[in-house]
Structure 1
Amino acid sequence: MEKFIMICGYGGVAFELCKILLDNKNYITEKYNLDLKLKSIVGRHGQLYEEKGIDLEALLKFGKGSSAIEEYAKQKKLTLNTNIVFEGDVLVESTPTDLESGEPGLTYALKALDSGMNVVFASKGALVTNYKLISTKAANLGLKINYSGATAAALPTLDIGENSLSGARIKSIRGILNGTTNFILTEMFTNDINFEEALKNAQERGIAEKNPKLDISGFDSACKLLLIANKIFNKQYDISKVHIKGIDRLSDEDIHLVKANGQTIKLIATAEFDGKEVSMEVAPIPVSKTDMFSSVNGTNKCIAYNTFEMGQIFCAGGASDPMGAGAAVLKDIINLYK
């Protein structure tokens, strides 16, 4: 079964997706009866388009980013389209996340849906800002949106709730959804250092951004929680529904008190379902050493589903790097056609 992919945004995740598509081509065809071909990529200066499919081996030699698209086009004597053509079976939306407007991913996603394409999101900006618009349009058109790669990379945050727990009534979801803040908290409690020192360590190791506000404020975790809850509980909430407190508001006194009680602190995202509505919160929570969450350290993340029929299901780990996210995007594409 031949399926054509269009990618918007050619950063690290899209590059790794292309690499996996090339390396695992035969495996994907044999196991899933899918012949996945990349038809076009939209970069900063236009769209690379090839009707029969882009030569991934040649493309990957140029690295990632818009410059790679331009170098490939030059080698193949192709002209980049300035008027973007939405053709193919699935759009992979992986442009940089804008959590205010959702652009340019929002426009790309809506145009893809209008063109009869399913959409897989690696970037969460468009969904966080306009989930109701996107999900409603997809449903009305009989199309699908998948986005597990945008909700904690390789950790199967959505797969467990959607597939493994089919038929079970889910009471609540708890998770450590941000690897940067978990690393900082682990450093603070393991090495007995303050927040500023732990943040500096994270930045020096490339784990935290120069401006870490989205992570340390709890906003990134809140965005992921929102998308998980909307999908699992079939809601269309926006980010205002989530109560957010980050680790940047922890005081030295808070830390000392928790340590004195033999506990540790984790930034935990929680969604609780009362049968009608979902209450959502992100906050630094003291956890005992016997709590499963206390064993999730460094950049690792985790998710726990609490159900009536199946009890509690806990999953931790999963790569947080671009390859892990790229693999999650591929999983979402494959799941469209199972």
Structure 2
Amino acid sequence: MTEPLLEVNHLKKYFPIQGGIMQRTVGHVRAVDDITFTLNKGEALGLVGESGCGKSTTGRTILRLLEKTEGTVKFKGTDLHELSRKELRAMRPKMQLVFQDPYSSLNPRINVGTAIGEALVDHGLVSKHEIRDRVKEILSICGLAPYHIDRYPHEFSGGQRQRIGIARALIMNPEFIVADEPVSALDVSIQAQIINLLSDLQEQKNLTYLFISHDLSVVEHLCNRIGVMYLGSMVEMAPREELFARPLHPYTKALLSAIPVPDPTRKSERIVLQGDIPSPANPPSGCKFHTRCPFAKEICKQQVPKYEEMASNHFVACHFAGEF
């Protein structure tokens, strides 16, 4: 059996809360709270959930843009959080990030050619006279024209800027890409173009994606498996078809019910969750979802449900999984 490209085991990322005159640590925001999963080469895993559930923090901690609190992140068998700065820098080209906001992630003072090619120069991967040819090649792959190389970010539309962001990640010839809400700021028609582009690139280059989104209908088109997060924890993970056909967690059911149905003659039953998401600085006891769950019982308030495999590759954390 081949080793997974990425192994995440019991990953935690807590941010300290400081207070008082001495600015002592008085608590922690549990942004990522004990997450475990693996990702195989060429696979696309979708990570979904409401805003503030810890999706983006998970992605950034995996890439070691944030330091972990606990747990391990292994990329091709190497623990990323145990590497020295020099060793991590050598590993960086193989792991790239596509940002949510393509405009703020681009320097308005430098042209697109420089923005895309600067990492190649920084890592010494090509000589200076080869850079323009490499940048033009990657622009064409991402659906942009070679003459765009000398233009500046403000001269492009939102969709074009996102293509530039993808080109900047791809030029390093990575194996693994974390795409952090890459289409959330785009029009629906442009979203489809970017999703199709990512899908084509995955096929051509055998890329592995961690695709972060709050929209299940978006990840449905790109991802092989989908993980659902709530308040820093993974509550369900399953192959795409299995999750859509047989969700076992009430939170997953509520998210699926919110997907718009394009047929006006067909009525879907919307599950509206009551109340607000609790604070990750003070999560509820027992199951974190029990304060909003319409099926919660006494055990849910007292005991944390085990995250266990209920069917083949279908994991869920719920005391009454599939019983409602």
Q: Which structure shows the higher helix fraction?
A: 1
Fold in common (TM above 0.5): no
Indicate the TM-score class for this superposition, using the shorter chain for normalisation: 0.3 to 0.5
TM-score normalised according to structure 2 size = 0.34
